[in-house]
Structure 1
Amino acid sequence: MPPARAGVPMPNFTATQELFRADGLTLNSNSDTVTANITNQVNGATGGLIDVSSVSNGLLIVRVANAPTGTSPGLAVFFDTCDAFGNWVLTSNATAISGAVLGFAGTVAGNISTGYGLTYTGRIRWTVTGTGSPTFTGVSFSLFGR
């Protein structure tokens, strides 16, 4: 850390902070975003919106605890931020946060900003693909920002 200068306060940095956590989720094609009935276990808030105003980038970790159902199931998870007019803009990798679609139980992680600056509000969004009504159960999201 640089030495203090007279009359200039030292900045207060938080290296990493947890912004969102939810687990035990079921993801399918009936919905595509974290919604109002899901509680953010970090702060108890509901509504699906995540305050990202204090960070410029971050890491989203997705864990699928159980083998998915359906034929050729695929799960792509994304992170969006909202502009001043209420339009959602993709800020994560365009394929999926990890750059690959998840088709099995396991863990993936990816950067939520890919070089873009984040706005005040973010959301986790997904796409489920495959046939036979694919479902991913036991899904958890952990979002960390810095």
Structure 2
Amino acid sequence: MAIYPYGRKVWSLDGASLSGAGSTSSVVLDIHDVTDLWLAAFVANAPTGTTPTLTLQVDLLDQDGNVFPAALALTALTAAGHQSGSCGLYTSNLVLPMQCQVTWTLGGTTPAFTGVTLSLFGR
């Protein structure tokens, strides 16, 4: 049984401005006490640039720090709006390791997203 049956915030990036093509990852996050994760992305404002995209994923790390990318990947955001998804023991029969990281990627030419909130919850 999960220690946090109602969930807790594991990590968030609140009201951020993201710009420039490329990928960025959060710090390594401790998830030893959760069995499921819910990843959410909210973009408050219309992005600028040519064909801007924002993709978001949860990467899992093994005990040696090796990264297993995109255990959970959200559909790319290309406009203001939101996406979310979940993974874990009860949602996708995936046993979670002790650590993960959130990775976001901006694509397009000079992409810029403002009013971005990224959140990872666990239970």
**1:1-146 correspondence runs (5 A):** 13-15=3-5, 16-28=7-19, 29-34=21-26, 48-90=27-69, 91-92=71-72, 96-97=73-74, 100-113=75-88, 114-131=92-109, 133-146=110-123
Q: 4+ residue stretches of structure 1 with deviation over 6 A?
A: none
Q: Secondary structure at the match of 1:32?
A: strand
Question: Looking at CA atoms only, which structure, 1 or 2, has the larger radius of gyration?
Answer: 1
Matched-pair identity in %: 35
Give, in angstroms, the shift of residue 103 of structure 1: 0.1
Report the residue type matching 1:61 in the other structure.
Answer: A
Q: Which runs of 5+ in 2 are unaligned?
A: none
Larger RCO (CA under 8 A, 6+ residues apart): 2
Give, in angstroms, the shift of residue 71 of structure 1: 1.0
TM-score when scaled to structure 2?
Answer: 0.82
Q: Which runs of 5+ in 1 are unaligned?
A: 1-10, 35-47
Distance 1:68 1:137 in 2: 7
Conserved? CA contact 1:77–1:124, under 8 Å: yes
